[in-house]
Chain A
Amino acid sequence: MFARPSRRRSSLTLVASSVGAARVGGGERNGNRARDWSGLMARAQDGDRRAYRALLEDMAPYLRVLAARCFKAPGDVEDAVQDVLLTVHAVRHTYDPGRPFGPWLVAIANRRIIDRLRRQMRDRSREIELTAEHETFSPHPANLRFDETSADEVALHAAIEHLPPDQRQAIRLLKLKEMSLKEAALASGRSVSALKVATHRAIKSLRKILREPSDTP
Protein backbone atom coordinates (compact mmCIF):
# COMPACT_ATOMS: atom_id res chain seq x y z
CA MET A 1 0.00 0.00 0.00
CA PHE A 2 2.70 2.46 0.93
CA ALA A 3 5.64 3.40 -1.16
CA ARG A 4 9.16 3.25 0.12
CA PRO A 5 10.38 6.79 0.28
CA SER A 6 13.56 5.85 2.11
CA ARG A 7 15.35 4.73 -1.04
CA ARG A 8 14.44 7.85 -2.90
CA ARG A 9 15.23 9.97 0.09
CA SER A 10 18.71 8.53 0.34
CA SER A 11 19.39 9.50 -3.26
CA LEU A 12 18.39 13.06 -2.50
CA THR A 13 21.01 13.72 0.12
CA LEU A 14 21.47 17.19 -1.28
CA VAL A 15 18.30 18.29 0.43
CA ALA A 16 17.96 15.55 3.01
CA SER A 17 19.31 17.41 5.95
CA SER A 18 20.44 20.95 6.32
CA VAL A 19 23.08 20.00 8.87
CA GLY A 20 24.05 16.61 7.51
CA ALA A 21 24.33 17.68 3.90
CA ALA A 22 26.68 20.46 4.79
CA ARG A 23 28.97 18.02 6.55
CA VAL A 24 29.17 15.61 3.64
CA GLY A 25 32.24 16.23 1.48
CA GLY A 26 31.48 18.14 -1.68
CA GLY A 27 28.01 18.88 -0.47
CA GLU A 28 28.70 22.37 0.73
CA ARG A 29 26.83 24.03 -2.06
CA ASN A 30 23.96 21.62 -1.62
CA GLY A 31 24.04 22.14 2.11
CA ASN A 32 23.77 25.87 1.59
CA ARG A 33 20.88 25.30 -0.75
CA ALA A 34 19.17 23.03 1.79
CA ARG A 35 19.62 25.68 4.44
CA ASP A 36 18.26 28.19 1.98
CA TRP A 37 15.18 26.11 1.31
CA SER A 38 14.44 25.74 4.99
CA GLY A 39 14.92 29.45 5.56
CA LEU A 40 13.00 30.39 2.43
CA MET A 41 10.05 28.26 3.52
CA ALA A 42 10.12 29.81 6.99
CA ARG A 43 9.98 33.26 5.39
CA ALA A 44 7.28 32.11 2.96
CA GLN A 45 5.19 30.95 5.91
CA ASP A 46 5.42 34.49 7.26
CA GLY A 47 4.08 35.82 3.96
CA ASP A 48 7.35 36.75 2.17
CA ARG A 49 6.33 36.29 -1.46
CA ARG A 50 9.78 36.87 -2.90
CA ALA A 51 11.20 34.07 -0.73
CA TYR A 52 8.31 31.84 -1.71
CA ARG A 53 8.89 32.45 -5.41
CA ALA A 54 12.61 31.73 -5.02
CA LEU A 55 11.81 28.51 -3.17
CA LEU A 56 9.26 27.26 -5.70
CA GLU A 57 11.45 28.12 -8.68
CA ASP A 58 14.41 26.43 -7.02
CA MET A 59 12.41 23.34 -6.12
CA ALA A 60 10.81 22.77 -9.51
CA PRO A 61 13.93 21.30 -11.25
CA TYR A 62 14.48 18.84 -8.36
CA LEU A 63 10.87 17.78 -8.47
CA ARG A 64 11.20 17.37 -12.23
CA VAL A 65 14.14 14.98 -11.68
CA LEU A 66 12.12 13.01 -9.12
CA ALA A 67 9.10 12.81 -11.41
CA ALA A 68 11.19 11.90 -14.45
CA ARG A 69 12.16 8.64 -12.70
CA CYS A 70 8.54 7.51 -12.79
CA PHE A 71 7.11 9.14 -15.92
CA LYS A 72 8.37 9.13 -19.48
CA ALA A 73 6.13 11.66 -21.18
CA PRO A 74 7.26 15.24 -20.49
CA GLY A 75 3.61 16.23 -20.04
CA ASP A 76 3.21 13.67 -17.23
CA VAL A 77 6.41 14.85 -15.56
CA GLU A 78 5.22 18.44 -15.64
CA ASP A 79 1.79 17.46 -14.31
CA ALA A 80 3.43 15.60 -11.42
CA VAL A 81 5.65 18.60 -10.62
CA GLN A 82 2.58 20.85 -10.56
CA ASP A 83 0.75 18.38 -8.33
CA VAL A 84 3.61 18.50 -5.84
CA LEU A 85 3.80 22.30 -5.97
CA LEU A 86 0.06 22.58 -5.32
CA THR A 87 0.30 20.20 -2.36
CA VAL A 88 3.33 22.00 -0.93
CA HIS A 89 1.31 25.20 -1.15
CA ALA A 90 -1.72 23.63 0.54
CA VAL A 91 0.22 22.10 3.44
CA ARG A 92 3.01 24.65 3.84
CA HIS A 93 1.84 25.36 7.38
CA THR A 94 2.82 21.80 8.37
CA TYR A 95 6.53 22.51 7.86
CA ASP A 96 8.47 23.07 11.04
CA PRO A 97 11.51 25.30 10.31
CA GLY A 98 13.35 23.54 13.13
CA ARG A 99 13.42 20.34 11.11
CA PRO A 100 15.17 19.53 7.80
CA PHE A 101 13.29 20.56 4.70
CA GLY A 102 14.38 17.63 2.50
CA PRO A 103 12.40 14.77 4.08
CA TRP A 104 9.32 16.99 4.26
CA LEU A 105 9.47 17.84 0.57
CA VAL A 106 10.46 14.37 -0.63
CA ALA A 107 7.67 12.72 1.37
CA ILE A 108 5.11 15.04 -0.24
CA ALA A 109 6.62 14.51 -3.69
CA ASN A 110 6.60 10.72 -3.31
CA ARG A 111 3.02 10.76 -2.13
CA ARG A 112 1.84 12.83 -5.10
CA ILE A 113 3.91 10.92 -7.67
CA ILE A 114 2.61 7.59 -6.38
CA ASP A 115 -0.97 8.88 -6.45
CA ARG A 116 -0.50 10.00 -10.04
CA LEU A 117 1.10 6.69 -11.00
CA ARG A 118 -1.85 4.82 -9.50
CA ARG A 119 -4.31 7.02 -11.35
CA GLN A 120 -2.41 6.50 -14.57
CA MET A 121 -2.41 2.71 -14.07
CA ARG A 122 -6.16 2.77 -13.44
CA ASP A 123 -6.76 4.84 -16.57
CA ARG A 124 -4.58 2.56 -18.66
CA SER A 125 -6.42 -0.52 -17.48
CA ARG A 126 -9.66 1.02 -18.75
CA GLU A 127 -8.52 2.68 -21.94
CA ILE A 128 -7.02 1.43 -25.19
CA GLU A 129 -4.80 3.87 -27.00
CA LEU A 130 -5.71 4.28 -30.68
CA THR A 131 -2.90 3.73 -33.14
CA ALA A 132 -2.63 5.13 -36.69
CA GLU A 133 -3.89 1.78 -38.02
CA HIS A 134 -7.01 2.04 -35.89
CA GLU A 135 -7.79 5.45 -37.29
CA THR A 136 -7.02 4.53 -40.91
CA PHE A 137 -8.90 1.26 -41.16
CA SER A 138 -11.71 1.88 -38.75
CA PRO A 139 -15.01 1.52 -40.66
CA HIS A 140 -16.26 4.80 -39.28
CA PRO A 141 -18.39 6.79 -41.79
CA ALA A 142 -16.06 9.75 -41.42
CA ASN A 143 -13.19 7.65 -42.71
CA LEU A 144 -15.16 6.58 -45.75
CA ARG A 145 -16.39 10.01 -46.72
CA PHE A 146 -14.14 10.22 -49.75
CA ASP A 147 -14.58 6.64 -50.80
CA GLU A 148 -16.20 6.70 -54.24
CA THR A 149 -17.70 3.28 -53.80
CA SER A 150 -19.76 4.48 -50.88
CA ALA A 151 -23.27 3.00 -51.20
CA ASP A 152 -25.01 6.36 -50.76
CA GLU A 153 -22.92 8.02 -53.41
CA VAL A 154 -23.57 5.25 -55.96
CA ALA A 155 -27.30 5.48 -55.31
CA LEU A 156 -27.24 9.27 -55.65
CA HIS A 157 -25.37 9.15 -58.98
CA ALA A 158 -27.78 6.53 -60.30
CA ALA A 159 -30.73 8.67 -59.25
CA ILE A 160 -29.24 11.72 -60.97
CA GLU A 161 -28.89 9.69 -64.17
CA HIS A 162 -32.62 8.97 -64.04
CA LEU A 163 -33.55 12.66 -63.98
CA PRO A 164 -34.87 14.48 -67.09
CA PRO A 165 -31.97 16.13 -69.01
CA ASP A 166 -32.66 19.76 -67.98
CA GLN A 167 -32.95 18.83 -64.30
CA ARG A 168 -29.83 16.64 -64.50
CA GLN A 169 -27.84 19.50 -66.00
CA ALA A 170 -29.03 21.94 -63.33
CA ILE A 171 -28.03 19.59 -60.52
CA ARG A 172 -24.62 18.87 -62.04
CA LEU A 173 -23.74 22.50 -62.53
CA LEU A 174 -25.16 23.96 -59.34
CA LYS A 175 -24.68 21.15 -56.81
CA LEU A 176 -21.95 18.80 -58.01
CA LYS A 177 -19.71 21.42 -59.64
CA GLU A 178 -20.85 23.99 -57.08
CA MET A 179 -21.22 26.80 -59.62
CA SER A 180 -23.10 29.98 -58.81
CA LEU A 181 -26.41 30.64 -60.58
CA LYS A 182 -24.78 33.20 -62.90
CA GLU A 183 -21.95 30.82 -63.84
CA ALA A 184 -24.39 28.00 -64.45
CA ALA A 185 -26.59 30.27 -66.57
CA LEU A 186 -23.58 31.24 -68.68
CA ALA A 187 -22.41 27.63 -69.01
CA SER A 188 -25.80 26.22 -69.94
CA GLY A 189 -27.24 29.16 -71.88
CA ARG A 190 -30.39 29.03 -69.78
CA SER A 191 -31.95 31.74 -67.65
CA VAL A 192 -31.32 31.93 -63.90
CA SER A 193 -34.99 31.41 -63.11
CA ALA A 194 -35.16 28.34 -65.37
CA LEU A 195 -32.16 26.87 -63.54
CA LYS A 196 -33.75 27.60 -60.15
CA VAL A 197 -36.98 25.86 -61.17
CA ALA A 198 -35.07 22.90 -62.66
CA THR A 199 -32.96 22.51 -59.49
CA HIS A 200 -36.03 22.67 -57.27
CA ARG A 201 -37.77 20.01 -59.34
CA ALA A 202 -34.61 17.89 -59.53
CA ILE A 203 -34.21 17.84 -55.75
CA LYS A 204 -37.87 16.95 -55.35
CA SER A 205 -37.46 14.09 -57.84
CA LEU A 206 -34.23 12.88 -56.21
CA ARG A 207 -35.88 12.86 -52.80
CA LYS A 208 -38.67 10.77 -54.26
CA ILE A 209 -36.34 8.34 -56.05
CA LEU A 210 -34.01 7.88 -53.08
CA ARG A 211 -36.86 7.46 -50.61
CA GLU A 212 -38.68 4.83 -52.63
CA PRO A 213 -36.49 1.79 -51.81
CA SER A 214 -36.58 2.46 -48.08
CA ASP A 215 -40.33 3.09 -48.11
CA THR A 216 -41.01 -0.34 -49.57
CA PRO A 217 -39.99 -2.86 -46.96
Chain B
Amino acid sequence: MTRTPELIDILVECATPVRRLRPPLVRAGLWLAFAGLILALVAIGHGVRTDLAARLHEPTFAASIAAALATGILAAMAAFAISLPDRSRWWLLLPLPALAVWIATIGYGCFVDWVSIGPDGIRLGEELPCLALLVLTGVPLAIALAAMLRHAALLRGGAVAMMGGLAVAAITATALSLVHDHDASVMILVWNLGTAALITGAGCLFGRRIFRWP
Protein backbone atom coordinates (compact mmCIF):
# COMPACT_ATOMS: atom_id res chain seq x y z
CA MET B 1 0.00 0.00 0.00
CA THR B 2 1.29 3.44 -0.92
CA ARG B 3 1.84 5.76 2.00
CA THR B 4 -0.12 9.01 2.06
CA PRO B 5 2.89 11.34 1.45
CA GLU B 6 3.85 9.17 -1.52
CA LEU B 7 0.28 9.33 -2.82
CA ILE B 8 0.38 13.13 -2.51
CA ASP B 9 3.62 13.12 -4.52
CA ILE B 10 1.94 11.06 -7.24
CA LEU B 11 -1.18 13.26 -7.31
CA VAL B 12 0.94 16.43 -7.50
CA GLU B 13 2.88 14.88 -10.40
CA CYS B 14 -0.43 14.28 -12.22
CA ALA B 15 -1.84 17.73 -11.45
CA THR B 16 -2.45 19.08 -14.92
CA PRO B 17 -4.59 22.21 -15.34
CA VAL B 18 -8.31 21.44 -15.38
CA ARG B 19 -11.20 23.38 -16.85
CA ARG B 20 -13.72 24.31 -14.18
CA LEU B 21 -17.29 23.25 -14.74
CA ARG B 22 -19.74 25.96 -15.60
CA PRO B 23 -22.53 26.61 -13.05
CA PRO B 24 -24.95 23.66 -12.98
CA LEU B 25 -27.95 25.63 -14.21
CA VAL B 26 -25.97 26.88 -17.22
CA ARG B 27 -24.97 23.30 -18.03
CA ALA B 28 -28.58 22.17 -17.60
CA GLY B 29 -29.57 24.94 -20.01
CA LEU B 30 -27.03 23.70 -22.56
CA TRP B 31 -28.38 20.17 -22.34
CA LEU B 32 -31.96 21.42 -22.63
CA ALA B 33 -30.97 23.40 -25.71
CA PHE B 34 -29.58 20.19 -27.19
CA ALA B 35 -32.85 18.46 -26.24
CA GLY B 36 -34.75 21.26 -27.99
CA LEU B 37 -32.66 20.68 -31.10
CA ILE B 38 -33.44 16.95 -31.04
CA LEU B 39 -37.12 17.74 -30.54
CA ALA B 40 -37.05 20.08 -33.53
CA LEU B 41 -35.27 17.48 -35.69
CA VAL B 42 -37.81 14.83 -34.72
CA ALA B 43 -40.68 17.22 -35.48
CA ILE B 44 -39.17 18.07 -38.87
CA GLY B 45 -38.25 14.49 -39.72
CA HIS B 46 -41.41 12.81 -38.56
CA GLY B 47 -43.86 15.67 -38.83
CA VAL B 48 -46.05 16.99 -36.02
CA ARG B 49 -49.17 14.95 -35.32
CA THR B 50 -52.15 15.98 -37.35
CA ASP B 51 -54.49 16.63 -34.45
CA LEU B 52 -52.00 18.59 -32.32
CA ALA B 53 -53.87 21.89 -32.43
CA ALA B 54 -57.12 20.21 -31.47
CA ARG B 55 -55.55 18.11 -28.72
CA LEU B 56 -53.80 21.08 -27.16
CA HIS B 57 -57.23 22.52 -26.38
CA GLU B 58 -57.99 19.47 -24.23
CA PRO B 59 -57.03 20.35 -20.65
CA THR B 60 -55.78 16.81 -19.83
CA PHE B 61 -53.51 16.63 -22.87
CA ALA B 62 -52.20 20.13 -22.40
CA ALA B 63 -51.57 19.48 -18.70
CA SER B 64 -49.84 16.20 -19.49
CA ILE B 65 -47.49 17.68 -22.07
CA ALA B 66 -46.74 20.71 -19.89
CA ALA B 67 -46.09 18.49 -16.87
CA ALA B 68 -43.80 16.19 -18.88
CA LEU B 69 -41.85 19.17 -20.19
CA ALA B 70 -41.63 20.69 -16.71
CA THR B 71 -40.51 17.35 -15.28
CA GLY B 72 -37.78 17.12 -17.91
CA ILE B 73 -36.52 20.65 -17.30
CA LEU B 74 -36.63 20.40 -13.50
CA ALA B 75 -35.10 16.90 -13.42
CA ALA B 76 -32.24 18.10 -15.64
CA MET B 77 -31.65 21.06 -13.34
CA ALA B 78 -31.71 18.75 -10.32
CA ALA B 79 -29.37 16.22 -11.95
CA PHE B 80 -26.78 18.90 -12.77
CA ALA B 81 -27.09 20.47 -9.31
CA ILE B 82 -26.69 17.28 -7.29
CA SER B 83 -23.85 16.07 -9.48
CA LEU B 84 -21.72 18.58 -7.56
CA PRO B 85 -20.62 17.41 -4.13
CA ASP B 86 -21.46 20.58 -2.23
CA ARG B 87 -25.04 21.03 -3.45
CA SER B 88 -27.97 20.10 -1.24
CA ARG B 89 -29.79 16.83 -1.71
CA TRP B 90 -33.08 18.74 -1.52
CA TRP B 91 -32.66 19.41 -5.24
CA LEU B 92 -33.91 15.86 -5.72
CA LEU B 93 -37.39 17.02 -4.73
CA LEU B 94 -37.52 19.68 -7.43
CA PRO B 95 -39.13 17.64 -10.24
CA LEU B 96 -41.49 15.69 -7.96
CA PRO B 97 -44.58 17.99 -8.17
CA ALA B 98 -44.38 18.11 -11.98
CA LEU B 99 -43.78 14.35 -12.06
CA ALA B 100 -46.87 13.77 -9.91
CA VAL B 101 -49.00 15.83 -12.31
CA TRP B 102 -47.52 14.03 -15.31
CA ILE B 103 -48.12 10.56 -13.86
CA ALA B 104 -51.66 11.57 -12.92
CA THR B 105 -52.43 12.49 -16.55
CA ILE B 106 -50.82 9.67 -18.50
CA GLY B 107 -52.66 6.69 -19.81
CA TYR B 108 -51.48 3.24 -20.50
CA GLY B 109 -50.77 3.96 -24.17
CA CYS B 110 -48.08 1.91 -25.78
CA PHE B 111 -47.26 0.15 -22.52
CA VAL B 112 -50.00 -2.38 -23.23
CA ASP B 113 -49.96 -2.17 -26.99
CA TRP B 114 -46.40 -2.38 -28.24
CA VAL B 115 -46.56 -6.16 -28.39
CA SER B 116 -49.91 -7.85 -28.84
CA ILE B 117 -50.70 -11.52 -28.58
CA GLY B 118 -53.36 -12.50 -31.10
CA PRO B 119 -54.57 -15.63 -32.87
CA ASP B 120 -51.40 -15.57 -34.99
CA GLY B 121 -49.19 -15.69 -31.94
CA ILE B 122 -47.04 -12.84 -30.71
CA ARG B 123 -46.69 -10.08 -33.24
CA LEU B 124 -45.17 -6.68 -32.98
CA GLY B 125 -47.79 -4.13 -32.09
CA GLU B 126 -48.74 -1.10 -34.05
CA GLU B 127 -46.54 0.99 -31.85
CA LEU B 128 -43.21 -0.29 -33.14
CA PRO B 129 -42.51 2.98 -35.02
CA CYS B 130 -43.16 4.72 -31.72
CA LEU B 131 -40.47 2.54 -30.16
CA ALA B 132 -38.02 3.46 -32.92
CA LEU B 133 -38.82 7.14 -32.42
CA LEU B 134 -38.30 6.72 -28.72
CA VAL B 135 -34.85 5.22 -29.24
CA LEU B 136 -33.91 7.91 -31.77
CA THR B 137 -34.86 10.65 -29.33
CA GLY B 138 -33.84 9.10 -26.05
CA VAL B 139 -30.43 7.65 -26.90
CA PRO B 140 -28.66 10.88 -27.99
CA LEU B 141 -30.12 12.73 -25.02
CA ALA B 142 -29.02 9.99 -22.62
CA ILE B 143 -25.51 9.83 -24.10
CA ALA B 144 -25.10 13.61 -23.91
CA LEU B 145 -26.31 13.69 -20.32
CA ALA B 146 -24.11 10.77 -19.27
CA ALA B 147 -21.07 12.48 -20.80
CA MET B 148 -21.86 15.76 -19.03
CA LEU B 149 -22.45 14.10 -15.66
CA ARG B 150 -19.81 11.38 -15.70
CA HIS B 151 -17.86 12.93 -12.80
CA ALA B 152 -20.86 12.31 -10.51
CA ALA B 153 -20.25 8.55 -10.55
CA LEU B 154 -17.75 9.02 -7.73
CA LEU B 155 -20.11 11.04 -5.60
CA ARG B 156 -23.86 10.47 -5.87
CA GLY B 157 -23.97 8.11 -8.82
CA GLY B 158 -27.35 6.53 -8.09
CA ALA B 159 -29.26 9.74 -7.44
CA VAL B 160 -27.77 11.52 -10.46
CA ALA B 161 -28.50 8.54 -12.73
CA MET B 162 -32.13 8.43 -11.62
CA MET B 163 -32.59 12.19 -12.08
CA GLY B 164 -30.89 12.02 -15.48
CA GLY B 165 -33.06 9.06 -16.47
CA LEU B 166 -36.15 11.00 -15.45
CA ALA B 167 -35.06 14.06 -17.42
CA VAL B 168 -34.45 12.01 -20.57
CA ALA B 169 -37.73 10.15 -20.09
CA ALA B 170 -39.74 13.33 -19.68
CA ILE B 171 -38.19 15.08 -22.67
CA THR B 172 -38.65 11.97 -24.84
CA ALA B 173 -42.28 11.69 -23.74
CA THR B 174 -42.84 15.34 -24.64
CA ALA B 175 -41.33 14.75 -28.08
CA LEU B 176 -43.50 11.71 -28.66
CA SER B 177 -46.64 13.46 -27.47
CA LEU B 178 -46.02 16.18 -30.06
CA VAL B 179 -45.39 13.89 -33.01
CA HIS B 180 -47.17 10.64 -32.22
CA ASP B 181 -50.84 9.81 -31.93
CA HIS B 182 -50.61 7.53 -28.92
CA ASP B 183 -49.54 8.24 -25.42
CA ALA B 184 -46.38 6.30 -24.63
CA SER B 185 -45.44 8.00 -21.39
CA VAL B 186 -45.57 4.93 -19.15
CA MET B 187 -43.41 2.90 -21.50
CA ILE B 188 -40.90 5.73 -21.78
CA LEU B 189 -40.75 6.16 -18.02
CA VAL B 190 -40.28 2.47 -17.42
CA TRP B 191 -37.65 2.15 -20.12
CA ASN B 192 -35.62 5.16 -19.12
CA LEU B 193 -35.75 4.70 -15.38
CA GLY B 194 -35.18 0.96 -15.86
CA THR B 195 -32.11 1.70 -17.97
CA ALA B 196 -30.90 4.22 -15.39
CA ALA B 197 -31.34 1.61 -12.66
CA LEU B 198 -29.52 -0.97 -14.78
CA ILE B 199 -26.60 1.36 -15.46
CA THR B 200 -26.42 2.34 -11.79
CA GLY B 201 -26.43 -1.31 -10.74
CA ALA B 202 -23.76 -2.23 -13.26
CA GLY B 203 -21.70 0.75 -12.14
CA CYS B 204 -21.93 -0.37 -8.51
CA LEU B 205 -20.90 -3.91 -9.41
CA PHE B 206 -18.23 -3.33 -12.03
CA GLY B 207 -17.37 0.38 -11.97
CA ARG B 208 -14.52 -0.06 -9.54
CA ARG B 209 -12.98 -2.78 -11.64
CA ILE B 210 -13.54 -1.24 -15.06
CA PHE B 211 -13.05 2.49 -14.49
CA ARG B 212 -10.71 2.19 -11.49
CA TRP B 213 -12.99 4.27 -9.33
CA PRO B 214 -11.55 4.58 -5.87
Task: Give the size category of A's interface with B.
Answer: 35 or more
A107 touches B85 (CB 8 A): yes
Question: B144-156, CB under 8 A of A: which get 1 and which 0?
Answer: 0000000100111
Residue in chain A with minimal CB distance to B17: A47
> Do A90 and B151 have beta carbons less than 8 Å apart?
yes
Does chain B have a CB within 8 A of A49? yes
Instruction: Flag if B15 contacts A60 (CB, 8 Å).
Output: no
Contacts of B86 in A (CB 8 A): 99-100, 103-104, 107
Q: How far, in whole Å, are A90 and B85 apart by their CA atoms in the complex?
A: 12
Determine, out of A76-84, A151-159, A179-187, the stretch whose residues face the partner at the interface.
Answer: A76-84
Segment at the A interface, from B4-12, B167-175, B191-199: B4-12
Dominant secondary structure of chain B at its interface with chain A: loop
Closest to B85 in A: A107
Interface residues of A in 95-115 (CB under 8 A from B): 95-97, 99-100, 103-104, 107-108, 111-112
B214 pairs with A112, CB closer than 8 A = yes
Evaluate whether A93 and B151 lie within 8 angstroms (CB atoms) in the complex, with A46-B17, A87-B214 already known.
yes
* CB pair B8 A93 closer than 8 Å: no
Known: A83-B214, A107-B86. A94 touches B12 (CB 8 A): no
Contact mask for chain A residues 35-67; partner B; CB cutoff 8 A; 1 contact, 0 none: 000000000111101001100110010000000
Query: Of B18-26, B53-61, B69-77, B117-125, which stretch is located at the interface?
Result: B18-26
A78 to B83, CA, bound (A): 26
Are B7 and A47 closer than 8 Å at their CB atoms?
Answer: no
Identify whether the interface residues of A are mostly helix, strand, loop, or mixed: helix
* Pairwise interchain contact A96-B16, C-beta atoms closer than 8 A: no
Count B-side interface residues using an 8 Å CB cutoff: 29
Most chain A beta-carbon contacts within 10 A, residue among B3, B7, B85: B85
**Nearest A residue (CB) for B14:** A89
A residues less than 8 Å from B151 (CB atoms) = 90-91, 93-94
Could you tell me if A85 and B85 are in contact, using CB atoms closer than 8 angstroms? Answer: no
* B46 interface hit (Cβ, 8 Å): no
Chain B residues with a Cβ under 8 A of chain A:
1-5, 7-8, 11-21, 23, 83-86, 89, 151, 154-156, 214
Closest 6 pairs between A and B when the two form their complex, measured CB to CB: A47-B17, A93-B18, A104-B86, A107-B85, A86-B214, A103-B86
Interface residues of A (CB under 8 A from B): 2, 44-47, 49, 52-53, 56-57, 60, 75, 78-79, 81-83, 85-87, 89-97, 99-100, 103-104, 107-108, 111-112
